[in-house]
Amino acid sequence: MLDFTADEIDAVRLSLRVAFWAMLGSLPFGLATAMVLARGRFWGKTLLDGVVHLPLVMPPVVTGYLLLLLLGRHGPLGRFLAESFGLVFAFRWTGAALASAVMGFPLMVRAIRLSLDAVDCRLEEAAGTLGAGRAFVFMLITLPLIAPGIVAGMVLSFARSLGEFGATITFVSNIPGETRTVASAIYTLTQTPGGDAGALRLTLVSIALSLVALLAADLLARRIGRRIAGE
Amino acid sequence: MLEVDIAHRLAAFELDIHFRTGRGLTALFGRSGAGKTSVVNAIAGLIRPERGRIVVDGSVLIDTERGIRVPAHRRRVGYVFQEGRLFPHLTVRQNLLFGRWFARDSAPASCLDDVVDLLGIAPLLERRPGRLSGGEKQRVAIGRALLASPRLLLMDEPLAALDAGRKDEILPYLERLRDQASVPIVYVSHSVAEVTRLANTIVLISDGRVRAVGPVQEVMGRAELYPLAGRFEAGAVLAVRVAAHDARWRLTELTGAFGKLMVPLLDAPIGTALRVRIRARDVILALTPPIGISALNVLAGRVEALVPIEEGALEVELRLGGERLLARVTRRSGEALGLVPGRQVFAVIKTVAIDRRSLGRQDEAADLDDGVEFFEG
């Protein structure tokens, strides 16, 4: 039963790699966006908030197609990145990571923003009176206090990536060894005669991965939370 | 040396504050909502006054006319908040050292050990704020502000959030801080007991304006200021020293510029400087030195002013050898004795009216009726 084929192992490895980079790559942007949304006061904030949340409510296929239009080989941004930096997303695993990152972005921003809202601004004020400038206040006070939110956001992004299917297959297709993640592989196997056993194996792997990620995150967040509660 | 001259508008409330003060502890005193906290926030740089100038030790923190505004983190003004505001994710030691990190090259850093000793927080160093009592938190907060090597220390009602026992616990540390640390302190309070015990100088603030500035004895001895300060019972403050103890009759003799005062036996060494607050209503006035009465204290003085306070009553301000005393009498008595400014009178104070009451036991309700108290000073 648990005899994985080389393709299946490839799919698992690829899924983990895609999820890892999607999570890590979107972290700085997620943090910055959450900061702007939580603390900023500017015209168009509601609009930005809406745009950030779009991938959550739009059909994933639409998100994938937009990415394809924008970042495909002939898309305006795609051509620019390919010519200037040699960075190609279309039909590469990097594209799968990007699609996953975009899909998980609202979840990450939400988690971080919630924890930012919970930070007591008076502590930051106190740090200021002790001589800490804004950058130090952020690094020494704000960042440690929102650490559980950041962890939660990263896990949500990672888990969302593992489950990403629609945007990925639209944007980067379903190329074995390059863009065929666990989700795409399961889809392919269910379309193939005699692929049931493989689909089931990958399904179990998928469940296991998601569970481990959630449990690890819970453990970590609880440990950090204890430290932040000041006990 | 602190110089404050600011104007600021908050919704319908107008703040217009001018005062200068020197070393020691300056109390910003007044009822809640008078604008005291806004003043310290402006000094710390947490609010930006619309107009004005604040100078600490010759360096300008803000001067709207010249367009100078030093950001809060460059002001080197320590701030002890009412709720402590310790960083929950850091240990007590890390909290204490937080400010020193940034003050490294700008000032001779106070030594951690000295501050820890002064505040008695050595056993807490490795703990986290979540496990500290309210009083311990406030002591750590004071230490944290001190260790940032401030030029000025602001304290915004640091005892207000504490219960009576915890106040008792902290007051001696505040006195030591006032006497031992060289940093001037601006202390916000609406408690007459705290202010009398701690302050060298009082700045009385009411409705966003400064109504009086001066030494504690001077300001507390002025009857017309009481309505501005809140619902406090008038009572003058006398500076005294412990002169002798009489174990047989369980009495202590105090001396001051006004003469001698007999009080119930105090547990303080001879020579200790104290402050005594004497409620106006505990003082009887007589035109000649009374004889054959039980009261042990008869002090000679002159009437300085008469302030009608309510139906049928007068607050009489007296001068006793450079000190002020307040006496409350009926208008009828005032008329009968022919009390006018300049008139010589004798103030009679019952020794037993002067009971040693621990300041910490004074909660807000007791503030309204705090009789005579002693304060190390």
Same-domain check for residues B275 and B365: yes
B83 in A contact zone (CB under 8 Å): yes
pLDDT value for B123? 92
**What Cα–Cα distance (Å) separates residue B308 from each residue in B164, B335, B349?**
34, 12, 21
**Number of Cβ pairs closer than 8 Å across A and B?**
75
Say what percent of chain A tops pLDDT 90: 68
Report if residue A76 sits inside a domain.
Answer: yes
Give the residue-averaged pLDDT of A106-131.
Answer: 93
Q: Is the pLDDT of residue B107 over 90?
A: no
| Domain harbouring B239, CATH code | 2.40.50.100
Of A129, A133, A145, the CB nearest to B89: A145
B103 in A contact zone (CB under 8 Å): yes
Show Cβ contacts of residue B62 under 8 Å, excluding neighbours closer than 6 positions.
B6, B42, B45, B48, B49, B52, B53, B54, B68, B69, B70
B145 in A contact zone (CB under 8 Å): yes
Report if residue B50 sits inside a domain.
Answer: yes
Contact A131 B71 (CB under 8 A): no
Give the residue-averaged pLDDT of A159-179.
Answer: 91
Same-domain check for residues B193 and B247: no
Of A125, A133, A227, the CB nearest to B89: A227
Report if residue B227 sits inside a domain.
Answer: no
A123 in B contact zone (CB under 8 Å): yes
Contact B99 A227 (CB under 8 A): no
Report if residue B249 sits inside a domain.
Answer: yes
Of A120, A128, A231, the CB nearest to B72: A128
- pLDDT, mean over chain A: 91
Of A131, A136, A144, the CB nearest to B148: A131
Among the candidates B164, B190, B220, a domain finishes at B220
Three-class DSSP labels, B18-74? EEEECCCEEEEECCCCCCHHHHHHHHHCCCCCCEEEEEECCEEEEECCCCEECCHHH
Same-domain check for residues B181 and B248: no
Give the residue-averaged pLDDT of A131-160.
Answer: 92
Number of domains in chain B: 2
Q: Is the pLDDT of residue B372 over 80?
A: no
Secondary structure (3-state) at B285: strand
Report if residue B230 sits inside a domain.
Answer: no
Biggest CA pair distance of chain B: 70
pLDDT value for B106? 53
pLDDT value for A107? 94
- pLDDT, mean over chain B: 84
Q: Is the pLDDT of residue B355 over 90?
A: no
Closest CA to A97 of A164, A12, A170: A164
Residue A44 sits in which domain range?
A: 6-228
**Separation in Å, CA of B99 to nearest CA in chain A:** 5
Contact list, B72 vs chain A (CB under 8 Å): 125, 128-129
Contact list, B104 vs chain A (CB under 8 Å): none
pLDDT value for A145? 92
pLDDT-derived band at B368, boundaries 50, 70, 90? very low
Same-domain check for residues B267 and B369: yes
pLDDT value for B282? 87
pLDDT value for B134? 87
Q: Find, in chain A, the residue whose alpha carbon is nearest to that of B141.
A: A126
Same-domain check for residues B182 and B312: no
Contact list, B79 vs chain A (CB under 8 Å): 126, 129
Which of A119, A122, A125, A130 is the best residue to mutate to test the B interface, defined by the most B CB atoms within 10 Å of its own CB?
A130
Please give the structure tokens belonging to residue B5: 């001259």
Same-domain check for residues B189 and B66: yes
Residue B199 sits in which domain range?
A: 2-220
Contact B145 A129 (CB under 8 A): yes
pLDDT value for A141? 94
Give the residue-averaged pLDDT of B274-293.
Answer: 87
Same-domain check for residues B95 and B150: yes
Say what percent of chain A tops pLDDT 70: 98
Q: What is the rounded distance in angstroms from the CA atom of residue B355 to the CA atom of residue B205?
A: 30
Same-domain check for residues B278 and B199: no
**What Cα–Cα distance (Å) separates residue B273 from each residue in B41, B242, B269?**
33, 7, 9
Same-domain check for residues B244 and B204: no
Same-domain check for residues B183 and B50: yes
Q: Is the pLDDT of residue B70 over 70?
A: yes
pLDDT-derived band at B359, boundaries 50, 70, 90? very low
Give the residue-averaged pLDDT of B252-258.
Answer: 89
Say what percent of chain B tops pLDDT 70: 91
Q: Is the pLDDT of residue B357 over 80?
A: no
Report if residue B229 sits inside a domain.
Answer: no
Give the residue-averaged pLDDT of A104-111.
Answer: 95
pLDDT-derived band at B374, boundaries 50, 70, 90? low
pLDDT value for A1? 63
B98 in A contact zone (CB under 8 Å): yes
Number of domains in chain A: 1
| Domain harbouring A97, CATH code | 1.10.3720.10
| Domain harbouring B101, CATH code | 3.40.50.300
Residue type, B7: A
A146 in B contact zone (CB under 8 Å): no
Among the candidates B174, B195, B220, a domain finishes at B220
Contact B336, B258 (CB under 8 A): no
pLDDT value for B363? 29
Give the residue-averaged pLDDT of A149-165.
Answer: 92
Of A141, A229, A231, the CB nearest to B87: A141
B107 in A contact zone (CB under 8 Å): no
Report if residue A1 sits inside a domain.
Answer: no
Report if residue A105 sits inside a domain.
Answer: yes
Q: What is the rounded distance in angstroms from the CA atom of residue B323 to the CA atom of residue B220?
A: 11
Give the residue-averaged pLDDT of A96-124.
Answer: 94
DSSP chain A: -----HHHHHHHHHHHHHHHHHHHHHHHHHHHHHHHHHH---TTHHHHHHHHHHHHHS-HHHHHHHHHHHHSTTSHHHHHHHHHH----TTSHHHHHHHHHHHHHHHHHHHHHHHHHHS-HHHHHHHHHTT--HHHHIIIIIHHHHHHHHHHHHHHHHHHHHH--HHHHHHH---TTTT--HHHHHHHHHHSTT-HHHHHHHHHHHHHHHHHHHHHHHHHHHHHHHHHTT-
Biggest CA pair distance of chain A: 70
B192-237: pLDDT as tens digits: 878 888 888 999 998 899 988 988 888 888 877 877 776 667 788 8
B132-181: pLDDT as tens digits: 988 899 999 999 998 888 889 999 999 888 887 778 778 888 888 888 87
Per the model's pLDDT, the better-predicted residue between A22 and B266 turns out to be A22
pLDDT value for B369? 35
Q: Is the pLDDT of residue A46 over 70?
A: yes
Give the residue-averaged pLDDT of B182-187.
Answer: 90
Among the candidates B156, B186, B220, a domain finishes at B220
Report if residue A121 sits inside a domain.
Answer: yes
B183 in A contact zone (CB under 8 Å): no
Contact list, B56 vs chain A (CB under 8 Å): none
Report if residue B226 sits inside a domain.
Answer: no
Same-domain check for residues B191 and B291: no
Q: What is the rounded distance in angstroms from the CA atom of residue A74 to the CA atom of residue A65?
A: 13
Show Cβ contacts of residue B144 under 8 Å, excluding neighbours closer than 6 positions.
A130, B86, B95, B96, B98, B99
Sheet containing B313-320: which strands, arranged edge to edge? B283-286, B344-349, B297-310, B313-320, B323-330
Same-domain check for residues B49 and B186: yes
pLDDT value for B215? 87
Please give the structure tokens belonging to residue B122: 């050595």
Per the model's pLDDT, the better-predicted residue between A33 and B241 turns out to be A33
Report if residue B330 sits inside a domain.
Answer: yes
Give the residue-averaged pLDDT of A5-34.
Answer: 94
Report if residue B214 sits inside a domain.
Answer: yes
Secondary structure (3-state) at B142: helix
Report if residue A108 sits inside a domain.
Answer: yes
Contact A230 B129 (CB under 8 A): yes
**Separation in Å, CA of A129 to nearest CA in chain B:** 5
Per the model's pLDDT, the better-predicted residue between A170 and B361 turns out to be A170
Q: Find, in chain B, the residue whose alpha carbon is nearest to that of A125.
A: B46
B221 in A contact zone (CB under 8 Å): no
